[in-house]
Chains A and B, each alone.
Chain A
Amino acid sequence: MLKRNVQQRHRVVQVITKFLIPMILLFAFYVQFHGDFGAGGGFQAGVVFASVFILHGLIFGEARTRLVLTPNTLRVLMSLGLLLYAGTGVVSLLLGGNYLNYSVLLSNPVSGQHWGIFVVELGVGITVAAVMVSLFYCFSSKRNFVGHISHPIDENELNSDG
């Protein structure tokens, strides 16, 4: 009898996931940077971006996702996004405008607005993505919940499955 563990049992799902991950990432960047022209923006893009890492965690085990995106990185990113947003306001203050008035960022007020919105949306995206992935880490690290729900059988049975 061939001995297989849980990871090997889900081979098909794993291969399909590897195809899906770059596409979802691309869609997240599209939603992020095309939000000025169509539906979308930082908040939505952040959630889509986070869903990539959650999908990876569900399929390959959250321990391995933690190697790709470590909790310390997440902590930094979470604050970085908010700082990016608030910092844009401070920069516009220093340049002589009101807080969060992007028109003064560049000599041309309209391109100033473009860049201001771009940076601010990026900040929102980074914070939202980091918070969502850390929420996932928090809940999944207490117990291996994927295995727990889809296979309500004990660990020995899983390991000796032939």
Chain B
Amino acid sequence: MNVDAIVIENIIVMVLLTLLIVVAVGIIMLNDLLTAVILSGLYSLLSATVFVAMDAVDVALTEAAVGAGISTIILLGTLSFTKRIQKPQEHNNYVALVIVCITGGALIYGTLDLPSYGDPNSPANSNPQLAQHYLTESKKEIDIPNVVTSVLASYRGYDTLGETAVVFTAGIGVLSLLGLRRRRRKEDPLLTEKQQRKQQNEDN
């Protein structure tokens, strides 16, 4: 890649990150929760675009589907339990502000030690036993073109098994709290008799 392309890519990523900050500030400032939920979907979509710009298409697809899609719907569902407009804040909590500032500063200070993006000398990239093995031997050992999938499902199969178990456990947790039973409903005139009987059976 020549220097111009790198500069252009950096500009694109910077613009997208700036937009992310703008959207985040918008979410904080808004009192209208519905708009805030929609903006959080936009936030995820922008992050997905950043991931595409950084050539992480698998992560981008996940972020777009989960963050912009499902989360927005679930948040909208949560919103139906409460009111659309946020209650006005009556007092300012300066202690919380100080704690948040210190934590944020510590986190930013921590990122200074991280290797820069795409650094070939970072531990993850320079370790010949691990990353290089995945990249060079994957073709011979697993023979599928997408190395991300071969790392995810085969080399790091335990991790993915754990992740699936986490999703499963989260699902079970929500089910045990909220339950899948439906509230009593009125008759739906567009359904056939058989379907209505099925619904009633399900209710009982």
Contacts and interface: CB of A to CB of B under 8 A. Distances in A.
Nearest to B64: A44
B140 to A, nearest CB: 8
Given A67-B195, A102-B154, A135 B149 contact: no
Contacts of A141: 180-183
Contacts of A117: 142, 144, 149-150, 153-154
Interface residues of A, number: 66
B170 to A, nearest CB: 7
A21 to B, nearest CB: 15
A61 B190 CA distance: 11
Given A36-B144, A39-B58, A82 B181 contact: no
A36 B84 CA distance: 43
Contact of B70 (A51, A75, A86, A143): A51
Interface string B150-178: 10111001101101110110111011001
A32 B61 CA distance: 12
B6 interface: no
Interface stretch (B74-82, B95-103, B114-122, B124-132): B74-82
Interface in A118-137: 120-121, 123-124, 127-128, 130-132, 134-137
A36 B153 CA distance: 10
A140 B77 contact: yes
A120 B157 CA distance: 9
A139 B77 contact: yes
A104 interface: no
Given A47-B70, A139-B74, A143-B81, A41 B145 contact: no
A20 interface: no
Scoring B62, B149, B178 by chain A CB atoms within 10 A of each residue's CB, the highest score goes to B149
B61 A31 contact: yes
B123 interface: no
Interface in A68-86: 70-71, 74-75, 78-79, 81-82, 85-86
Contacts of A120: 153, 157, 160
A10 interface: no
A39 B148 CA distance: 8
B73 A54 contact: yes
A58 B80 CA distance: 13
A113 B143 contact: yes
A67 B62 contact: no
16 contacts: A31-B61, A38-B145, A39-B146, A40-B61, A41-B148, A41-B152, A47-B65, A74-B180, A78-B172, A82-B165, A82-B168, A102-B154, A110-B143, A120-B153, A120-B157, A124-B164
Ranked 6 nearest A-B pairs via Cβ: A139-B77, A145-B80, A131-B171, A71-B180, A39-B57, A100-B157
